Amino acid sequence: MNSGFFVDVARARGTLPRRKEHSGCSWGKKMSLSHGRPMVSIPGPSVIPDRVLAAMHRPMPNIYEGDLVEVSYSVQDDLRKIARTEQPVYISVSNGHGAWEMAISNTLSRGDKVLVLESGTFAIGWGEMAEVSGVKTEILPGEDPYPVSPEALEERLKADLSREIAAVMVVQVDTATSVRNDIQAIRAAIDAANHPALLMVDCIASLGCEPYEHDEWGADITVAATQKGLMVPPGLGFVFASEKALLAHKRADLRTGYFDWEPRTNPEQHYKIYCGTPPIQHLWAMRESLDMLFEEGLENVWRRHRVLADAVRAAVDAWQAPAGLSFNIVDPQSRSNSVTTVLTGEIDASELRTIAESDAGVTLGVGLDEFADRAIRIGHMGHLNPPMILGTLGTIEAALTKMGSPIGSSGAAAAAAAIGAAL
């Protein structure tokens, strides 16, 4: 008997799901090598570890007591260990922009002035948000493509005789330019000017990637989010506050109902910590990612990022050629360990990205703002190891080869050598 008959009958009765019809051959299909696990090498959202994905796959729990509440408190405690602070952390159920707003609204007042240290798109964006909230902003221009100048900051603050500037806003790593600013030097400049401004630092692209010490370095506000070095999907923002920031909070008149720290401060009322239902899946995910970071050891996590970033830099160094690729950040000391912005010269950046993705399975970051169509960004933050980074770099090289682009020498070989030297 032909079993196909019973299958047909069952389908006709609706008791079997419809299947897609396949001819079984490749006729009419374009060959592409981009099968297998795709590699997303963009500077956030970063690769989510399977352990973190699995940890999120749970039904809704009791939210009043038990596991979830314990996990929630433990996540707060352990986040403070990642930012190296004894001070409180406040959690916004939002992306990084929401955490920016939480920091602004809890510490500043209408008419205050903030000094925004330019080093790319992100501090400027944070400053614009402050401006919309009713704060006056002044931009301390950066000398492109250098990091923020602590000397220029000190000079500007010394000139602020009326102490009008309430806060200095800076990013540790600007994800557009891939510069890393020296936060300790910036703190030292504020101290040298003997200026009372709050130091507000955006570590969204660098927490868990670059060494950072909220307490020891004297940051007043540190902002972070889940989806970069912390290896969790976008959805939570973190704001760490110093004692001075908590004092500023008492006077701040930009406070809003949702972001206000005050009701979130009572540790007995778990529900209020999140100003509503806790972000359950994200808390389980954060618990797992924090466990992974502590199992590895935070200093080792920083070292791993440096070694893998060195491999990326070795590749770009080898590739460099007239009319070809080059570093955006000229000073090697100021290149970040979480993202590298590579200028593409006469090479078509968008064609390079398209070939890497559709023919070979690697998604690269786009150039932002002034870098649109003239740069690619390689994200190297979070859950990464040598086969992942070498895969990305080797694939970029393959795409450059296909395009007939000018390259100095093999970046893939240089990256392997750099990793070999660090093993």
Ligand X SMILES: *Cc1c(COP(=O)(O)O)cnc(C)c1O
The contact set with ligand X (CB under 6 A) reads: 44, 95-97, 122, 171, 175, 202, 204-205, 225, 234
Q: Which is nearer to ligand X, 88 or 96 (CB)?
A: 96
Q: 415, 315 in Cβ contact below 8 A?
A: yes
Smallest separation, CB 95 to ligand X (Å): 3
Q: Which is nearer to ligand X, 129 or 355 (CB)?
A: 129
Alpha-helix runs per DSSP H in 218-297: 243-251, 270-273, 280-296
Q: Which is nearer to ligand X, 222 or 392 (CB)?
A: 222
Smallest separation, CB 171 to ligand X (Å): 5
Q: Which is nearer to ligand X, 92 or 395 (CB)?
A: 92
What span, in angstroms and rounded, lies between the C-alpha atoms of 392 and 177?
20
Nearest residue to ligand X, by Cβ distance, number only = 96
Phi, psi of 288 (to 5 degrees): -65, -45
* Residues comprising the chain, all counted: 423
What span, in angstroms and rounded, lies between the C-alpha atoms of 261 and 103?
10
Give the full edge-to-edge strand order of the sheet including 326-327: 39-41, 362-366, 375-379, 339-343, 326-327
Smallest separation, CB 94 to ligand X (Å): 8
Q: Which is nearer to ligand X, 329 or 407 (CB)?
A: 329
Q: Which is nearer to ligand X, 119 or 405 (CB)?
A: 119
Q: Which is nearer to ligand X, 125 or 408 (CB)?
A: 125
At 373, which amino acid appears? D
What span, in angstroms and rounded, lies between the C-alpha atoms of 306 and 45?
19
Phi, psi of 91 (to 5 degrees): -115, 125
Q: Which is nearer to ligand X, 115 or 414 (CB)?
A: 115
Smallest separation, CB 142 to ligand X (Å): 15
Q: Which is nearer to ligand X, 98 or 411 (CB)?
A: 98
Smallest separation, CB 256 to ligand X (Å): 18
What span, in angstroms and rounded, lies between the C-alpha atoms of 269 and 282?
19
At 143, which amino acid appears? E
**Residue linked to tokens 């910036």:** 186
Smallest separation, CB 119 to ligand X (Å): 10
The separation between the first and the last C-alpha atoms of the chain, rounded to the nearest angstrom, is: 63
Contacts of 89 (CB under 8 A, 6+ apart): 76, 79, 80, 83, 238, 239, 240, 241
Strand, helix or coil for residue 79: helix
Q: What is the greatest pairwise CA distance in the chain?
A: 96
What span, in angstroms and rounded, lies between the C-alpha atoms of 109 and 22?
64
What span, in angstroms and rounded, lies between the C-alpha atoms of 201 and 223?
6
Smallest separation, CB 403 to ligand X (Å): 29
Smallest separation, CB 407 to ligand X (Å): 28
Smallest separation, CB 135 to ligand X (Å): 18
Smallest separation, CB 414 to ligand X (Å): 27
Label residue 157 exposed, middle or buried (CB < 10 Å: 0-12, 13-18, 19+): buried
Q: Which is nearer to ligand X, 203 or 419 (CB)?
A: 203
What span, in angstroms and rounded, lies between the C-alpha atoms of 260 and 403?
53
